[in-house]
Amino acid sequence: MSSASPPLMIGGFKQSEIGKCTIPLSNSISLRIYSGTQPRHWKIAGLQKGLILVYKGVEMVGEGTGFGVPVLLFADNTYFSATSRLYAFSEKGLKTVHKVFFMDTVQRKRIRGVSIEDKAALALLRYTATLYRRYKGIRPLLNALKKLNVRLGLRTTFDKTRPVGEVRVAFSISPGSVDVKVDLCLLKKEGLKGVVIFNEQGSRFLRRYTDSLGADLIDGEIGAWERVEAEWACLTDPLRGFGFRLYRVKNSVLRRGQEFRQGEVDWVGLDYEINPESDHFEYGIEFLGVD
């Protein structure tokens, strides 16, 4: 599978590629999406993004991925997308955007420019990441270890590689919501252990988490990657009242997360972890405070 795949056919018509699309939700809030890797912030600068929030002309995604971005978890590598194609059309008054993510980039760990390929070392790094997500009490210690790793020259890079297929994501946009349909039919499934759909924006914009069980959390209280047991969860801007809500979806796990370290990490999101055997996945994004 490569970026030379056939043109996208929708409703029997071949669609033309575009480079960028901005869709207003209100006088102050818009959604924007690129065929390139914009906005290029920090360590994920070279990766594809989904729909990003724009407030009064300013992109509020921080270092987040945007809405509807696939990540593939294989036994040996985690695959991201650095290449895409973007299409948009209107039907019955609704704007629909299709983005084809080519899964052609893997995450690497390097020390002073040298790639870490030793399986034991990689297993230790993955185990540390798991501890960080699961156990809040030891996060200060693990954060200190992260700072030490930076001083030693350990860093994450994203390297282009042979694609393992493509993920097609369709966004049907109305003023108060977005219906998201994820097509996983064109993926290599052998060795695929998991699929995550990221829905992330900037952590300095959407700072408050609430859910149907009564949780009310601000900033770092949200956690790194916590499982959501509530039927729905929201991320909102406590100053402007704008935000979005996601619901739990059958045969998936909904997780919340937030991280901010100046110049390195800046995201908050609600992500779905879905069955790798799935060919399709659908969910809705409900916007709050859109007038």
Q: Using one digit for the tens of pLDDT, what is the confidence trace for 29-69? A: 999 999 999 988 878 888 999 999 999 999 999 989 999 99
Residue 257: which residues within 8 A CB-CB, separation 6 or more?
222, 223, 224, 225, 226, 267, 268, 269, 271
Strand order in the sheet with 20-24: 20-24, 29-34, 52-55, 58-59
What pLDDT does residue 265 have? 84
d(CA 125, CA 114): 16
- Whether the per-residue pLDDT at 107 is higher than 90: the answer is no
- Whether the per-residue pLDDT at 108 is higher than 80: the answer is no
What pLDDT does residue 225 have? 81
Q: Flag whether 127 is in a domain.
A: no
Domain count within the chain:
1
Q: Flag whether 160 is in a domain.
A: no
- Whether the per-residue pLDDT at 93 is higher than 80: the answer is no
Q: Flag whether 241 is in a domain.
A: yes
Q: Flag whether 156 is in a domain.
A: no
Specify the CATH number for the domain of residue 98. Answer: 2.70.98.10
- Whether the per-residue pLDDT at 24 is higher than 60: the answer is yes
* Average of per-residue pLDDT across 219-238: 93
Q: Flag whether 231 is in a domain.
A: yes
Q: Flag whether 110 is in a domain.
A: no
Q: Flag whether 100 is in a domain.
A: yes
Write out pLDDT tens, residues 120-157. 444 444 444 544 455 455 445 445 545 545 444 445 67
What pLDDT does residue 180 have? 98
What pLDDT does residue 85 have? 95
- Whether the per-residue pLDDT at 264 is higher than 80: the answer is no
* Average of per-residue pLDDT across 223-233: 92
What pLDDT does residue 119 have? 43
* Model pTM score: 0.82
Q: Flag whether 119 is in a domain.
A: no
Write out pLDDT tens, residues 154-185. 456 778 899 999 999 999 999 899 999 999 99
State which residues form the domain around 217: 9-104+166-288
Question: Of 7-11, 47-51, 82-86, 175-179, which range is least confident?
Answer: 7-11
What pLDDT does residue 69 have? 96
Does the CA dihedral 41-109-260-34 come out positive or negative?
positive
